[in-house]
Copies of this chain bind each other. A is one copy, B any other.
Amino acid sequence: MATIKDVARQAGVSVATVSRAFNDSAVVSEHVLARVRRVASRLNYWPNGAARSLITNRTHAIGVLLPDLFGEFFSEVIRGIDHAARESGLHLLLSSSHADTEELVAALRAMRGRIDGLIVMAPDVDAPKALECAHPDIPLVLIDPGLGVSGYDSISIANQDGARALVEHLLDLGHRRIATITGPRRNIDAEQRLAGYRLALKRRRVERDPELEIAGDFSEPSGYEAVDRLLALKRRPTAVFVANDYMAIGVLGALSDAGLRVPQDMAVGGFDDIAMSRYLNPPLTTVRVDAYGLGQRAAARLIRAARTSPAPARTREVLPTTLVIRGSCGAAGGERSRPGVTRSRAR
């Protein structure tokens, strides 16, 4: 691979001039510039990124740490980050699937000197602690940390509001015995959605029954299995709020297998509004989260923080959610089962 020295030698100039030709271009004379450019393209030369960032302290890359790449939600987040990043000519240095905080810290260390900023999505409630030990000097934006976390820029989802809105909607439809299937313990989204469920009941003075809170883990099978416990209850609920759409798919399948009709025998609500929710049978009433926007805003925030020289004040943004009413909750006007009313969703 040709280096700056090769170009300098063959163009009959110094390395400084070649460097200038690839950076400012204003200072160097027209004539020399052309010669350098010609030699460079003949040798297929381009400045080495590592050497460049060693001296300039800029890498034109932002680090992204995710719990896992699986699922539409995360991939939408990445897409949002990527689009914002490429507008500023930045690449993404990606690392995912960090089961525990130790792995997270290891990944973080490996990124030293390779990134200009960092976006971390760690739904585990105590992950942010791990961040303190690392990277004290580059901008950092957290996606969806716990409310207890402070001292960082963050952007999160209005989980509690969304869950409350959905459960209140079920209450409005006349349901009084409403179950919930929760996400994993220690997951911040799961905890906040559960809190929203409880808050809705409390506000409407409906007594909370602990046996109606069934543990799930955000996976489709766990939703399927939770239905067994739901149907075994002496006083069976008439509606269920499922803490994410993947589990809700499992719930719909299990109810169908059990011969129950949705929403007549059991109303169902989900969370996330993943793409396939509207194609389920019946289409799933759920809470829409703008995953793309989440990523995009996180990246935009990071870029702004990196640009402004004295670090701007910390901000904590909360992205609102919207209730999407479809057939599975039994509300009048909810979309009926039918494939793709496509025009409205074209992208």
Contacts and interface: CB of A to CB of B under 8 A. Distances in A.
B281 A338 contact: yes
Given A338-B281, A342-B223, A91 B79 contact: no
Given A50-B59, A78-B69, A253-B339, A219 B86 contact: no
A259 to B, nearest CB: 12
B75 A91 contact: no
Contact of A110 (B60, B136, B221): B60
A168 interface: no
Contact of A48 (B72, B112, B256, B343): B112
Interface stretch (A94-102, A155-163, A188-196, A198-206): A94-102
Contact of A86 (B97, B221, B257, B338): B97
A239 interface: no
A69 B60 contact: no
Contact of A51 (B96, B109, B113): B113
A223 B345 CA distance: 13
Nearest to A63: B91
A326 interface: no
A249 B339 contact: yes
A75 B69 contact: yes
A231 interface: no
A72 B72 contact: yes
Contacts of A82: 69, 94, 96-97
A327 to B, nearest CB: 11
Contacts of A257: 341
A127 interface: no
The 6 A-B pairs of least Cβ separation, nearest first, read A253-B340, A75-B75, A276-B276, A48-B113, A252-B339, A221-B346
11 contacts: A51-B113, A54-B54, A69-B83, A70-B347, A72-B275, A219-B347, A220-B342, A253-B342, A256-B340, A279-B279, A281-B338
Given A276-B279, A279-B281, 20 more contacts: A48-B113, A49-B110, A49-B113, A50-B51, A50-B54, A50-B113, A69-B78, A72-B72, A78-B94, A82-B94, A91-B110, A91-B111, A92-B93, A92-B95, A224-B343, A250-B342, A252-B339, A254-B342, A257-B341, A279-B279
